[in-house]
């Protein structure tokens, strides 16, 4: 079994930068990965007779000289190409790669955590 979690440590939106009021909760974009870490800490206590792999796609989305730009075409882990329409798609690109990786090592079941904490 593979457990997959999205772990964006911070998401500014990249070059398509988010409005400042939308950035305040972006540190919560790593909630899927944090949940997965809690699950992995708990699993040994349950003494389950199953092999479980934890895969966390950890990334930060900030502007820099090496940032994706709109209209860039990138190659995903599985070899498929993705055209970047908006640089705030890094979570989907990261999950596409980590899910491709998980399916490639023979996991019969893949559970994914995409959750994002929402502000008040």
Task: Report the catalytic residues.
Answer: 18, 92
Question: In 3D, which of 3, 2, 24, 1 has the Cα closest to residue 13?
Answer: 24
Q: What angle do CA 14, 16, 18 make, to 5 degrees?
A: 85
Cα atoms in the 13 Å half-sphere on the side-chain side of 61: 28
């Amino acid at each position: 079994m593979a457990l997959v979690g999205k772990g964006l440590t911070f998401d500014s939106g990249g070059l398509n930068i988010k409005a400042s009021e939308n950035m305040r909760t972006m540190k919560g974009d790593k909630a899927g990965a944090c949940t997965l870490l809690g699950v992995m800490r708990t699993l040994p206590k349950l003494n389950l007779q199953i092999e479980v792999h934890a895969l966390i796609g950890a990334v930060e989305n900030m502007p820099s000289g090496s940032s994706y730009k709109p209209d860039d075409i990138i190659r995903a882990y599985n070899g498929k190409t993705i055209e970047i329409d908006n640089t705030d798609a890094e979570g989907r690109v990261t999950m596409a790669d980590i899910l491709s990786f998980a399916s490639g090592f023979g996991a019969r079941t893949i559970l994914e955590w995409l959750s994002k904490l929402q502000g008040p």
